[in-house]
Amino acid sequence: MYFDVTIIGAGVVGLSIAKFCSENGLSVVVLEKDTRAGEGISSRNSGVIHAGIYYPHKSLKTQFCLQGNKALYEYANLKKINHKKIGKYIIASDQSEIDKLDQIYNQGILNAVSLERVTKKEMKSLYPDLLVEAAIFSPNTGIIDVPELISALEGDIQHNNGLVSFNTAFVSARKTKNGFEISCNDGNEFLMETKYLVNASGLHSDEISKKIDVLKKDFFYPIKYAKGHYFKYGGTHPFTSLVYPLSNEFSSGLHVGFDLSGQIRFGPDITWVDEIDYLFDESLKDDFIKSIRRYWPNIDPSKLSPDYVGIRPKIQKMNEKMKDFSIIGYKGHGVHGLINIQGIESPGLTSCLPIGKYVFEMIKY
């Protein structure tokens, strides 16, 4: 069995890479250990199409988020994927946060993101129930139906004769003269050959890296898991756009998010964990209430209930500065035909289409 390109992982990143490679005439297989696509990080997130405000100007996160914001709205319109450009307010709830809000505004403007400043008075007339000293509005932030996005990407791959192989775990890879010999397990172990190998396995990307015989350990990161909980809210509420308070020493800045049915939820928080588990820690409810009350004092705690958790694939340690997406090819690790992808946390969903194109370009040259 031979494919030009083998991609490990059918999350939004692996699927997008497969879409671009298959539509450019390469034979492609995506190996997915689960029964369906997108069951990892891709289905446990906020579903927000970000605008690219926060990240350093020259980073891949900014570059891909800006391109991805535009590309994802276009793709969603083309494929009739449910989405809404509902906008986002970033709010300072007291005077001590104004400097931080200004820094975020300046970073966003430097990144060429369209942003508007909103005064306390304007916020009071829009949201009389919220405590806001000043705010920034991002009109191009929105939400998207992630399962529909995943189906559209799978549809494109199938249309281009690419294959997504479920219940098929990557086991190991051995470098050969022309590419790689890959061992897989779909209940039985079998071998296949490929010219290009892409590791897009998200939370498992460090384990997978260890199974590629020629990849030295200096060229990949251990993954640290940062869990995020979401509580949903069943009562009436004043929100019509996303609202992002700032994080500070008293609060982790829990966001107000929406799904496309209008259900609101708060989160994610951040809890560092040692293993991948999706257990919900209900004891966090009091912390959530305290944090939300800083900007919405009238929240009814009885209407807040556990929703779901997601896990971020961090390549930096706790307390270390943010790291950029890591996409390493031959120039980085010296292995022909291998592209190793790690640390695709937020805004990875927004960035999936430009990441797919970028990796295809790396393969092409």
Ligand X SMILES: Cc1cc2nc3c(=O)[nH]c(=O)nc-3n(C[C@H](O)[C@H](O)[C@H](O)COP(=O)(O)OP(=O)(O)OC[C@H]3O[C@@H](n4cnc5c(N)ncnc54)[C@H](O)[C@@H]3O)c2cc1C
Would you tell me which residues interact with ligand X (CB under 6 A)? 8-14, 31-34, 38-42, 44-48, 50, 169-170, 200-204, 208, 228, 268, 310-312, 344-350
Give burial (CB, 10 Å; 0-12/13-18/19+) of 287: middle
Q: Which is nearer to ligand X, 44 or 134 (CB)?
A: 44
How far is Cα 172 from Cα 179, in angstroms, rounded to an integer? Answer: 13
**CB 246, min distance to ligand X, A:** 17
How far is Cα 248 from Cα 91, in angstroms, rounded to an integer? Answer: 12
Q: Which is nearer to ligand X, 86 or 133 (CB)?
A: 86
Q: Which is nearer to ligand X, 39 or 102 (CB)?
A: 39
Residues 6+ apart with CB under 8 A from 236: none
**CB 354, min distance to ligand X, A:** 12
Judge if the upstream peptide bond of residue 245 is cis by omega within 30 degrees of 0. Answer: no
Q: Which is nearer to ligand X, 10 or 131 (CB)?
A: 10
Closest residue to bound ligand X by CB: 348
Q: Which is nearer to ligand X, 60 or 134 (CB)?
A: 60
How far is Cα 361 from Cα 355, in angstroms, rounded to an integer? Answer: 10
Residues 338 and 197 sit within 8 Å (Cβ to Cβ): yes
Q: What three-state secondary structure class fits 319?
A: coil
**CB 125, min distance to ligand X, A:** 28
DSSP-derived pairing of the beta strands 88-92 and 242-245: parallel
Q: Which is nearer to ligand X, 42 or 251 (CB)?
A: 42
Q: Which is nearer to ligand X, 93 or 351 (CB)?
A: 351
Tokens found for residue 113: 């993101």
How far is Cα 244 from Cα 116, in angstroms, rounded to an integer? Answer: 15
**CB 321, min distance to ligand X, A:** 19
**CB 172, min distance to ligand X, A:** 10
**CB 341, min distance to ligand X, A:** 7
**CB 32, min distance to ligand X, A:** 5
Q: What three-state secondary structure class fits 78?
A: helix
Q: Which is nearer to ligand X, 61 or 195 (CB)?
A: 61
CA separation (Å) from 117 to 53, 104, 112, 123? 13, 11, 15, 10
Give burial (CB, 10 Å; 0-12/13-18/19+) of 168: buried
DSSP-derived pairing of the beta strands 189-199 and 224-233: unpaired
CA separation (Å) from 10 to 42, 116, 280, 341? 9, 37, 25, 13
Look at residues 173, 170, 171 and name the one whose alpha carbon lies nearest to residue 214.
173
**CB 215, min distance to ligand X, A:** 15
Q: Which is nearer to ligand X, 70 or 117 (CB)?
A: 70
**CB 161, min distance to ligand X, A:** 21
